Each structure stands twice: as C-alpha cells, then as structure tokens.
Amino acid sequence: MFNAESLVDTQIRKIKEKVTGKAIIACSGGVDSVVSAVIASKAIGDRLLAVYVNTGLMRKGETEEVRGMLGSMNVNFKILDADNIFFEGLKGITDPEAKRKIIGEKFIRCFEKEAKEFGAKYLVQGTIAPDWIESGEGGRDVVKSHHNVGGIPKEMDLELVEPLRDLYKDEVRQVARFLGIEVSERQPFPGPGLSVRCLGEVTPENIAIVREACHIVEDEIQKASADGKMELPWQYFAALLPIRSVGVRDGKRVYGMTVVVRAVLSKDGMTAKCAHIPFSVLESVSARIAGEMGDKVNRVVYDITNKPPATIEWE
Ligand code: XMP
C-alpha cells in the first residue's frame, strides 16, 4: 500500500542529505512540480528557488494562475518570459521527437542560467514514473522523450533531484491531498506544452488556435460535468492537425485546418480508454471551435482510440 506521509518524510530527509547548497526547481504549476516544490521547500526552505518558464506554449491564462498560486505558497519564485527562445528554436521543426529534444534543451539552458544567478547546483524536477518509462529508461523502447527525461541534454551543469521519480500519477495526487495542495485534481498537462498538440510546425499563430481550442474543450466539458451531464474524464483537450479539408462558410469555399478533440479515462496515464462523451457536449464543442476560429478551422473530429495502440497526446 502506498503511504503518502512516509513518501514525504523520506524525500524531505533525502533532499536534506543531498542538497548541501542552493537548488532551483522547474515549476510548471502542474501537480507533479508543485508537490515537488512543496517537499523541496520543506527540506531546504529559502535555499530553493522555483522557476516557472513561460514558453509561450502554455494554456490560456495559465501563467497568471501559476503566478497567483506560487505567490500563495510561501516559496521563492521567479517567472521567466522565454517565448521567443522557444518559438525560434522550433522554427521549421515538424518531427515530434526533435521538438521534444529542442524543448528539453531550451528548458535546461533557461534553468542553468537562473541557477547560475541564484548560485544553485541542483535542479529539482517533478519527474514521475511514466515519464522515464516512456522515455526508454530501464532497457525499454522509447515511446516518446518526455521533456524532463529524454529531452535532457547529455551535458548539463546541474545535478538532478527527482523526489517523485518512482510514483504514478494517482500516487502523486495522494501526496498532494496529504500536503493540502489545491491543484491535486488538476488534469495532467505535458511538459512540452501545447507544442505536442500542434502537429506540424509550431508557430505562434497555430499555438494560438490550439490554445483556444483546448480552452473551449475544457470549458464545455467542465460545464457539462457541473450540470451533471457527465463525469470529468481523466484528461481532455484538443490538438491541431496540419490536415486541410474543404468546407463552406456563408456560401464560400474554405480550406481550413482540422482540430481533433481527445478525452480519456485513465488511472496512471500508462493505458487509457477513450471517454464516452455525450453527443450533445461534443456538438457544442464542435460548434464553438468551428465557429470561433474564423476560416482557420473548418473541421472538428473526435478521437476514439484507446492507449494502446495510440498514446494520449498526439505527439
Ligand atoms: P502519452 O501521450 O505518452 O501521455 O500517452 C501519458 C501522460 O503523460 C503526459 N505527457 C507528459 N508529461 N512531460 C510530462 O510531464 C512530457 O513530456 C509528457 N508527454 C506526455 C500526457 O499528457 C499524459 O497525461
């Protein structure tokens, strides 16, 4: 049986032993990184700096939410605006693994710079078990290089500390509840952000489309769940496909892109089942996405595959 209290006590003790000077923590505001930040801050207090990188690949309103949350958490923190660096690095790149490697590298360079200024020698990360399992550690095949594992460059100046490395998502949530962290039930969001939901080239324009589409999916599904029409799936979002198709709007031909809506039920992200969303909810999602994007998106589809054979994200 997993015991959240004992995990917290053990990790506080291990961090106290290992981290002799200062550390920074890569904090995205998701449950994994916030739980790691709280544990690390209990261990080393003011010697920890939480760094949130605004990559330009975050969800709608996310940076402001994270600013508010870190501000209320009694942890040293800094918000770094680095969207130009990420968009520049991703220019012309369409291969999913190449995107992930570039993003991992940019993240690490940002953290190295911040660590130098703060005088830190350690980087705390909220890596959890599926991240390194799917990144091919332990002799397994690479499914995808999670940005906080396979995306890390070989030469890095910082020593890694990963207090949640052996945990699955449901266990991290138990730890979050034990620590009284309010984001404990927040849906997972990948480290490389919206870039893995933007198939093909990642441009600020395409990211703006997928950001709005993800917002609409979240909004409609959360409303439907609050109205008792459905239970909240484990994860629900949209991805933008670089597939154009012919449509018609106001009697005129349009040739727009496709948005795919994805919602899954899962326990730990290692396997997943496509969620049975009421058709009326899917219709509202589709009407809003196709209606609010001008001529850019003229087709919305629902992904009905399980994991395996698909993965949850499209890249
Ligand atoms: P996949 O797409 O591999 O995703 O079925 C399993 C779960 O992991 C999330 N995910 C990531 N999380 N860094 C993360 O921290 C990543 O690089 C990453 N890629 C996928 C995904 O959203 C799902 O919850």
pLDDT, mean of residues 206-212: 98
Torsion angle in degrees (nearest 10) through CA of 135, 214, 103, 176: -60
* Residue 235 CA, closest ligand 1 atom number: 24
**Distance (Å, rounded) from C-alpha 256 to C-alpha 293?**
10
The pLDDT, as a whole number, for residue 294 is 85
Q: Which two tokens stand for residue 290?
A: 């196709």
User: In this structure, what is the dihedral angle of CA atoms 191, 195, 196, 199, given to the nearest 10 degrees?
Assistant: 180
| Cα 190 to averaged position of ligand 1 atoms, centre (Å) | 5
Closest ligand 1 atom number to CA of residue 314 = 2
Question: Tokens 């509202």 correspond to what residue?
Answer: 284
Confidence check: pLDDT of 38 > 90: yes
In this predicted model, what pLDDT tens digit does every residue of 284-295 receive, in sequence order? Answer: 999 999 999 988
How far away, in angstroms, is 144 Cα from ligand 1 center?
A: 9
Residue type, 229: K
Ligand 1 centroid–CA 311 distance in Å is 9
Residue nearest to atom 24 of ligand 1 (CA): 188
Atom of ligand 1 nearest to the CA of 100: 17
Q: Choose among 252, 219, 255: nearest CA to 237.
A: 219
d(Cα 43, Cα 32) in Å, to the nearest integer? 17
**Can you read off the two tokens belonging to residue 104?**
């991992």
Residue pLDDT, tens place only, 180-189? 988 877 899 9
Please give the residue that has the higher pLDDT: either 15 or 141: 15
Ligand 1 — pocket residues by CB below 6 A?
130-131, 134, 143-144, 146-148, 188, 190-192, 235, 269, 307, 311-313
**In contact, 98 and 70? CB cutoff 8 Å:** no
Residue to substitute in 57, 303, 313, 315 for testing ligand 1 pocket (most ligand atoms within 8 angstroms of CB): 313
Please list, in sequence order, all residues whose beta carbon lies within 8 angstroms of the beta carbon of residue 126, skipping any fewer than 6 positions away: 26, 27, 28, 30, 32, 33, 34, 35, 36, 37, 148, 162, 164
| Cα–chain center distance at 4 | 23
What pLDDT is attached to residue 304? 98
**Percent of the chain at pLDDT exceeding 70:** 98
Summarize the confidence of residues 202-216 as an average pLDDT. 98
* Cα 264 from chain centre: 15
Atom index in ligand 1 nearest the CA of residue 310 equals 5
Distance 253 CA to ligand 1 centre (A): 37
Measuring from atom 18 of ligand 1, which residue has the nearest CA? 190
What DSSP string runs through 16-31? Answer: HHH--SEEEEE--SSH
Task: Using pLDDT thresholds of 50, 70 and 90, give the confidence band for residue 147.
Answer: low
Length of the chain: 315
Å from CA of 32 to ligand 1 middle: 12
Residue appearing with tokens 């994007």: 293
**SS3 assignment for 204-266:** HHHHHHHHHHHHHHHHHHHHHHHCCCCCCCCEEEEEEEEEEEEEEECCEEEEEEEEEEEEEEC
Using the predicted structure, report yes or no on whether residue 73 has a pLDDT greater than 70.
yes
Q: What is the pLDDT of residues 125-134, one digit of tens each?
A: 999 999 898 8
Q: How far apart are the C-alpha atoms of 132 and 134, rounded to whole Å?
A: 5
Q: Find where tokens 């594992």 sit.
A: 149
For 7, 13, 70, 173, the CA distances from 2, given in Å and listed in that order, are 8, 18, 28, 12
pTM of the model: 0.91
Mean of all residue pLDDT scores within the chain: 94
Averaged over 87-103, what is the pLDDT?
Answer: 96
Closest ligand 1 atom to residue 145 Cα is: 17
CA of 188 to the centre of ligand 1 (A): 8
Q: Which residue has the tokens 């939410």?
A: 65
**pLDDT of 218-241, one tens digit each?**
999 999 999 999 999 999 999 999
Query: From the alpha carbon of 272, which atom of ligand 1 is closest?
Result: 5
**E strand spans, the chain:** 22-26, 48-54, 77-81, 120-124, 159-161, 235-249, 252-265, 273-274, 297-302
Once rounded to an integer, what is the mean pLDDT over residues 83-105?
Answer: 96
Please tell me the distance between residue 284's alpha carbon and the centre of ligand 1 in angstroms: 27
